[in-house]
Chains A and B, each alone.
Chain A
Amino acid sequence: MFDVVSVRKDFPILQRQVHGRPLVYLDNAATTQKPRQVLDALMYYYENTNANIHRSNHTLGGEATDAYEAVRDKVARFIGSKYGPQSIVFTRNTTEAINLVANAWGRKFLNAGDEIVLTISEHHSNMIPWQLIAREKGAQLRYIDVDDEGRLRRDELAEVIGPKTKMVAVAHASNVLGINPVAEITALAHQHGALVLLDAAQSVPHMPVDVSALDCDFLAFSGHKMCGPTGAGVLYARPELLDAMPPFLGGGSMISRVQLEEATWADVPSKFEAGTPDIADVVGLGAAVEYLEALGMENVRAHEKDVTGYALERLSSLPEVKIYGPMNVEERIGVVSFNYGDIHPHDVGQVVDSFGVAIRGAHHCAQPLMRRLDCAATARASFYVYNTKAEIDVLVEALQEAGRYFKVEQAPVAR
């Protein structure tokens, strides 16, 4: 049974005071806090197992390799990959995973005139890698717009995705708005023979995700947004795609035979893991996956919907608050982007910080989306397994103080 009180006890940092008040951490879309179980796994690894992997045939080398490779199995199971560990490449984070695909796949398979389809709400990490490879290859970028409520424009899908489309790279869930209709997008892309990459940085940590059901070709996410340490992320890909792609980075571990002028590559997934990886952080990611599996991802999703629904209700009760994205919790993850009167999100963030509340106030690495929503930035509260309705109440109390400070009704109109 999911019990937020006992979940909170797993996270040592939640004992912290900030400005004399209990920390209310609502910046989980940026990174989440880490439970004791993950911290212990890191410590245990360094105190008992630490060695380099895939090269040393002493006892520790073997144990470290086993610990690292075991996480590949765990992650494959966690996201429902029917291809097992062969389909899991460890990267530093989502950004690196997307860069890997854009470079390795794009270099070989993209040609001039091909089209790459993105959405206007993509995080810069799922936009810039495609801009770079498109420019190099003479390929075109095409964007699916959002409507004024922040929903992806389904009516544009059939216009934008077509016979020239080679890759559709979209967020499974936006870090600002809501959940995208990825099943529909994937089906349409596959009809046209295009591949689909899902940026799952904001979905895998928050809801059950099954890559087989989604039928995507690539899926990228970060461990640090799901209770894991920074430094370990994941690229899921169908092994036949990985086989066909040239390497991304060259170096140790990714080779088979090396001559002076050329080399042959190790089998996937090692082909894409050059050099010593973030071994301990991958081991920590394994502990994070176990932690979330024990909570149950259905329970995680249900808890976040509960907290998010309450946040939407409380925030909409403040007269000057504008909330971005759909108001139905079924269509969004635990992210609420908003503006409060004309108070700049930076100032909102500063005032609520003095209440111990951590939110983000910025463009959320989504500048094109901010322009589309016609705002320079938004404040964003984002939730996770340990957040409570009582914490939402603290946020609202802090926002009211911000309103008093900046006299919301009198603040100047921007521009």
Chain B
Amino acid sequence: MNYSEPQLDDLYRDLILDHYRNPRNRGTLENPTAKVDGYNPLCGDEVEVELLIEGDVIEDVAFKGRGCSISQASTSMMTDAVKGRSKAEAESLIASFKHMITNPDDEVPPELGDLEALQGVGKFHVRVKCATLAWNALEQGLRENGTSHIVEEN
């Protein structure tokens, strides 16, 4: 086997560990317009994402959850990235993020900003779903008001 092996430091970038240890927007909202429970049955990762959408804008977002560092950091970073954005901008971020994770050798578009730190996860195939859980939950929350659930397919 003659390929360069992905290194642990590609996966656990400092920014990821920082979000894991100091999660942003952790908690619940008073009056969320959408709430999504995301679950990955393979590894037991859980996130609960709450959105307050007014008109076309994600006014506020919060999350709770437990799981591995990648799942929780990705969720924290997602909340930071979409807070205050329009639904269309968030949808575009979701698409760019998923492209980045599944094509870890492509150039990262500038709109992803800090989220670039999660690019290395794409080189660890078994961890991709850890990173995408929050984004699938967000996608569901943009589509559907009220409470809903998603389960990662393995």
Q: Which residues of A contact B (CB under 8 A)?
A: 19-20, 343-347, 350-351, 354, 361-363, 367, 370, 376-377, 405-407, 410-412, 414-415
B23 pairs with A346, CB closer than 8 A: no
> How far in angstroms is the closest Cβ of chain A from B29?
18
A415 pairs with B66, CB closer than 8 A: yes
Taking A376-B44, A412-B22 as given, write out 13 further A-B residue pairs in contact, using a Cβ cutoff of 8 Å, ordered by the A residue number.
A19-B5, A344-B67, A344-B68, A345-B68, A346-B130, A347-B68, A361-B43, A362-B44, A363-B44, A367-B44, A376-B46, A405-B8, A412-B23
Q: List 30 A-B contacts (CB under 8 A).
A: A20-B5, A343-B69, A344-B68, A344-B69, A345-B68, A346-B43, A346-B45, A346-B69, A346-B130, A347-B69, A350-B11, A350-B124, A351-B8, A354-B7, A362-B42, A362-B43, A362-B44, A363-B43, A370-B44, A376-B46, A376-B66, A376-B67, A405-B12, A405-B17, A406-B17, A410-B21, A411-B21, A412-B21, A412-B23, A414-B66
Query: Given the complex of chains A and B, what is the CA–CA distance between A347 and B68 in angstroms?
Result: 6
Is the CB of B83 closer than 8 A to any CB of chain A? no
Query: Given the complex of chains A and B, what is the CA–CA distance between A412 and B130 in angstroms?
Result: 18
> How far in angstroms is the closest Cβ of chain A from B78?
17
Query: Given the complex of chains A and B, what is the CA–CA distance between A20 and B68 in angstroms?
Result: 25
A346 pairs with B68, CB closer than 8 A: yes
> How far in angstroms is the closest Cβ of chain B from A369?
12
> How far in angstroms is the closest Cβ of chain B from A322?
16
Query: Given the complex of chains A and B, what is the CA–CA distance between A362 and B42 in angstroms?
Result: 7
B11 pairs with A377, CB closer than 8 A: no
Which chain B residues border A363 with CB–CB below 8 Å?
43-44
Which chain A residues border B66 with CB–CB below 8 Å?
376, 414-415
A377 nearest CB neighbor, chain B only: B44
CB under 8 Å from chain A, chain B span 45-92 = 45-46, 64, 66-70
B22 nearest CB neighbor, chain A only: A412
The proximity string for B residues 1-28 relative to A, scoring 1 for CB distances below 8 Å and 0 otherwise, is 0000101100110000100111100000
Query: Given the complex of chains A and B, what is the CA–CA distance between A184 and B66 in angstroms?
Result: 39
Assess A354 versus B68: contact at CB under 8 Å? Given A362-B42, A412-B20, A412-B23.
no
Query: Given the complex of chains A and B, what is the CA–CA distance between A370 and B70 in angstroms?
Result: 21
A350 pairs with B127, CB closer than 8 A: yes
Which chain A residues border B12 with CB–CB below 8 Å?
347, 405
CB under 8 Å from chain A, chain B span 117-148 = 124, 127, 130
A407 nearest CB neighbor, chain B only: B21
Which chain A residues border B17 with CB–CB below 8 Å?
405-406
A415 nearest CB neighbor, chain B only: B66
Closest 4 CB pairs of A and B: A346-B68, A344-B68, A376-B44, A414-B66
Query: Given the complex of chains A and B, what is the CA–CA distance between A243 and B21 in angstroms?
Result: 60
Which chain B residues border A405 with CB–CB below 8 Å?
8, 12, 17
Which chain A residues border B42 with CB–CB below 8 Å?
362
The listed residue with most A CB atoms (<10 A of its CB), out of B21, B42, B69, is B69
Query: Given the complex of chains A and B, what is the CA–CA distance between A376 and B68 in angstroms?
Result: 10
Query: Given the complex of chains A and B, what is the CA–CA distance between A28 and B44 in angstroms?
Result: 21
The listed residue with most B CB atoms (<10 A of its CB), out of A343, A346, A363, A370, is A346
Which chain B residues border A370 with CB–CB below 8 Å?
44
